[in-house]
Amino acid sequence: MSVAQLPERTSSADAQPKRDRKSTQSATQTVRQSGDVWIEFAEQLEDIRQHRLDWGDLGQHVAEANVFQTWWMLLAVWEQLPPDERPRVAFIYEQPSPITESPLLIGVFPLVKRRGCYGLPITVWQLWTHRLLFLNTPLVRAGHEIPALSALFDWLKESRSATAIELQGIPGERAMSQALIHLLDSTERTSFAVNRYCRAFIRRRGTYDDYLDSLPGHTRREFGRLRRQLERMGQLEVRSLNSGDDVEPWIDQFLELESRGWKGRGQTALKTSGEDEQIFRHITREAGKRDQLDMLGLFLDGQPIALKCNFLMGRGAYAFKIAYDEKYSKQSPGVQLELENIRRLLESERTDWMDSCAVARHSMIDRLWKERRVIETRLVSSGRFGSDALLAMYPVLRAAKRELGRLLPQAKN
């Protein structure tokens, strides 16, 4: 595979649909063999925005959906960051055959460089992440997983810019992971899964009654008892954001409700940080415009006592945030709303699965969501001389650290 790093496109035609860009691009690109793949890097906002039409098209044909890597969500976060924390975005293009067709964006990888990694004296490129982006799977065009990853790894080796690349926070059993394992096996690069955990996940299988029947009897009875308590307190109803509804009241109510609870006291509520509030407002508005926003709430006498925000992409959904009124904590309004969320998913004709986006061993979510998905972080060698040997030190250091951890408590005793 040939990988060329070409100049970034600066023509005003980049803001036009791809069908209008062919003639203007040809003047700035070198002649390539059919099937050539290259990477265009962008670090400035105006340069990144030039790719958003291609990026949007890519989002419609991905091997593995991830709403957190769409251009409108990633850029909303990017704009709030200080300049020294912004990622460098690698846009991987392929020239289809015949070459008269427009170049095809086959992958987008936001990257940051870090010195020192897992106790090793190395420099690594990492998939960039943020506290409000709960999944890191890069968007790669279906059927182009191997060419996109090969181009990234070839660049890593040829650029001599780092010893390794860290791919963190990606599902360990889906298309990207399978392509990665296949490629690593064929190229014999040193690679380690440095972290792996299970996250709650749910698929649309069976009916809601089937789901309830899968819960222990005492749990079902407890949920029913708490629901009846709420119903005796006033008019209890479930509301949801419908297509075309004004999203602003939902945004304001969610931010206010969350800030009044334990997250507000702990300074982790979205409203506590001006940056996080702006990101939340931006991405919910953008998702609403695209019919990719799912908000629902439990209301008592017209007032929200629990609210939930999900994002949608393709046939999947992503549970982003939930908030509840602690005045009703004994009746568990958050759990009641989560049960309604599960019911809606199981009855949906649009959504086949939902990622909880929760931390490992989440006390409430793991109790309600029965399935799991593996989320892992993998460190991959650049393939340059010496890089494999340096990475091979990692499992030795990890084993030594564990042994030392076992010995120290014994020494104290």
Same structural domain, 194 and 254: no
Same structural domain, 226 and 160: no
Residue 92 lies in a domain: yes
From the number of C-beta atoms within 10 Å of its C-beta (0-12, 13-18, 19+), residue 41 rates as middle
If one compares 20 and 329, the residue with the highest pLDDT of the two is: 329
What number of residues does the chain have? 413
- How much is the average pLDDT of 311-336? 97
- Do residues 381 and 164 make contact, with C-beta atoms less than 8 angstroms apart? yes
Same structural domain, 191 and 247: no
Domain containing 391: what range? 3-200+375-404
- How much is the average pLDDT of 122-140? 95
Residue 413 lies in a domain: no
CATH number at residue 387: 3.40.630.30
Same structural domain, 167 and 214: no
Residue 400 lies in a domain: yes
Give the pLDDT of residue 352: 97
- How much is the average pLDDT of 28-44? 66
Residue 98 preceded by cis peptide, ω within 30:
yes
Gap between the Cα atoms of 60 and 263, Å rounded: 35
Cβ partners under 8 Å of residue 53, min gap 6: 15, 16, 17, 18
Give the pLDDT of residue 410: 57
Mean pLDDT over the full length of the chain: 87
Is the confidence at residue 63, as pLDDT, over 50? yes
Give the pLDDT of residue 357: 96
- Mapping DSSP onto H, E and C, the string for 64-94 reads CCCHHHCHHHHHHHHCCCCHHHCCEEEEEEE
Is the confidence at residue 23, as pLDDT, over 90? no
Q: DSSP 3-state assignment of 16?
A: coil
Same structural domain, 13 and 113: yes
Give the pLDDT of residue 396: 73
Same structural domain, 196 and 233: no
Is the confidence at residue 12, as pLDDT, over 60? no
Same structural domain, 133 and 221: no
Last residue of a domain, one of 307, 336, 351: 351
Rg of the Cα atoms in the chain: 24
Last residue of a domain, one of 335, 351, 367: 351
CB atoms within 10 A of CB 264: 19
Is the confidence at residue 166, as pLDDT, over 90? yes
Q: DSSP 3-state assignment of 267?
A: coil
- How much is the average pLDDT of 259-277? 94
Give the pLDDT of residue 22: 38
Q: Is the pTM of this model over 0.85?
A: yes
Same structural domain, 104 and 121: yes
Give the pLDDT of residue 119: 75
Residue 225 lies in a domain: yes
Is the confidence at residue 405, as pLDDT, over 80? no
Same structural domain, 310 and 394: no
The structural domain count of the chain equals 2
Residue 28 lies in a domain: yes
Residue 22 lies in a domain: yes
- pLDDT above 70 coverage of the chain, percent: 89
Is the confidence at residue 81, as pLDDT, over 80? yes
- pLDDT above 90 coverage of the chain, percent: 71
| 237: nearest Cα among 299, 325, 308, 309 | 299
Same structural domain, 120 and 27: yes
Gap between the Cα atoms of 324 and 308, Å rounded: 9
Residue 370 lies in a domain: no
Same structural domain, 87 and 154: yes
Same structural domain, 178 and 249: no
Is the confidence at residue 290, as pLDDT, over 90? yes
Residue 365 lies in a domain: no
